[in-house]
Every structure is written in structure tokens, then in C-alpha cells.
Amino acid sequence: MKKFILLTLVSFLPAACATHELPTQPTIVATTTSSPLPFVPSVTPSFTPSPRALLTNTYTVSPEPEIAPNCEIANEKGQLYLLSDQEFSDLGTTEGELDRVLVTHYPEWANYRQRVSWSTQPVKLGEIIVSASLDEYLSLQINPAVTLVVLGERVDWQLPSNMDFFVRAQEISQILQQQFDDFHGVNPQNESLRSQYPEVENSATYALYAYFDHNLDRLQSWCNTYRQLFGTSP
């Protein structure tokens, strides 16, 4: 009987333990709640150039070799004046001088050769311009430097492949000579012509003024080029 009771108790105890567990102390799980650190964004390395000072032009710009400074096309009285009548008719400019000027400023022109009636070999432009500017039979006496610059300005210094330079230069010389004579006094109507153009100082200027259709911009361009090529202001 005692064994039975003892077994009963023994079998009862586990059930009671399963049903009524002893209170246990709470298990403390260590959790760290760290104070929020200040946010530091991740930085991707990048190059930030230091600010540079803006460039400013503090130097004096020299004129380009191909650009001649402006020359005056008016005298102290405010009249148009490009060059003297004496320089307009000057016979001192040689073909060699023209060729040297072209070598320096317009090499393509310097290399040009053309067949002409007075030579068995092609000749340079210097000889062509001189021959077209001075002709006793046609009463031509134009400074070849003047003729050359007028011709060059007329074709914008482009070398036409199909142009007879002698014929074209001689046409220019004839027109210039006629206009010079008209204003100078050969033509009886010159006084009337002078009165029509009181803004023009002399015959040489009138010849160029009329040739370029009274266009002051073209006169200025001619004057600039003449000064550049021959080193003198008209």
C-alpha cells in the first residue's frame, strides 16, 4: 500500500511541476540601444577644382601682318584726299619693286606668269602691270603701284584662272587716266566737274573716287592696301 502511495506521489510530482512552474526571474537580454550618432553621409571622393580667376586681356594686341592700319582718306579741310597728282603719275615704280611686293604679300600673284605679245616667254605680273600703266600711244601715265592695287582690290586679291591680266590692267589704266584728265583740266568741262565734287581735293583722288563708284569703304580699303604694300600713306 505504501509503495502504491509513493508511486502515486512520484508520478504526481512531475505533472504538478509541469502545471505549476516555479516563477523564474526574468531573463535579461542585453540589448544596446545606442544613442543616435550624428548622420555622416558617405562621401564619394571627387575633385572640386579651386576657383580660377577669369582671364582678362591686359596686353596690347598687335595688328596681324595681313591687316594694314587705316590710313587717312581726308585732308585737314575735310576733303577727300588719297594721294597727290604727282604720285598718281609717278614713273618711278619698277616691275622689280612690284614683284617683290607681291612675293611678300601675295605669293600666288608673284608666282603667276602670262604669255604676252612682246615676249616669247611668259612674264611676271610686275612687267605686265608696268606695261599696262605706261603707254605713250594711248597717253597712259599711271603709277604702276596705283594700277596694281586697283586691280587687286577689284578682284578681291583672288587670282582668276581665265583672266588676261594685261588687258584688264590696261582697261583700268585707261579709265583712271580719263577720269584724272577730266578733273585735271584737259577736259574743257573740268570746272563744271570740280564744282560738282567740292568734297574732292585733287584729280588723283577723283580718278579713284569715280572708279570705285564714290564708295568710301572701297576707297578706304584701297588706301589701306596701298599703304601696306608700298609702306607709305598716300
Distant-in-sequence, close-in-space partners of 194: CB < 8 Å, separation ≥ 6: 183, 200
Say if residue 204's pLDDT is above 50.
Answer: yes
pLDDT confidence bin for 77, thresholds 50/70/90: confident
Q: What pLDDT, on a 0 to 100 scale, did the predictor assign at position 18?
A: 43
Report whether 221 contacts 212 (CB < 8 A).
no
pLDDT confidence bin for 187, thresholds 50/70/90: low
pLDDT confidence bin for 188, thresholds 50/70/90: low
pLDDT tens by residue, 30-46: 444 444 444 444 444 44
Distant-in-sequence, close-in-space partners of 19: CB < 8 Å, separation ≥ 6: none
Please name which of 108, 106, 77, 95 lies closest in space to residue 145, comparing C-alpha atoms. 95
Q: What pLDDT, on a 0 to 100 scale, did the predictor assign at position 60?
A: 32
Q: Which H or E run contains 140?
A: strand 140-141
Average pLDDT over residues 70-89: 89
Query: Which of 56-70, 85-99, 114-128 has the weakest average pLDDT?
Result: 56-70
Q: What pLDDT, on a 0 to 100 scale, did the predictor assign at position 189?
A: 60
Q: What pLDDT, on a 0 to 100 scale, did the predictor assign at position 203?
A: 95
Give CA separation, 162 vs 114, 158, 200, in Å: 11, 12, 36
pLDDT confidence bin for 190, thresholds 50/70/90: low
pLDDT confidence bin for 28, thresholds 50/70/90: very low
For the chain, the structural domain boundaries read 89-230
Percent of the chain with pLDDT over 90: 57
Amino acid letter, 128: I
Mean pLDDT of the chain: 77
CA triple 181-129-211, angle to 5 deg: 40
pLDDT tens by residue, 124-147: 999 999 999 999 999 999 999 999
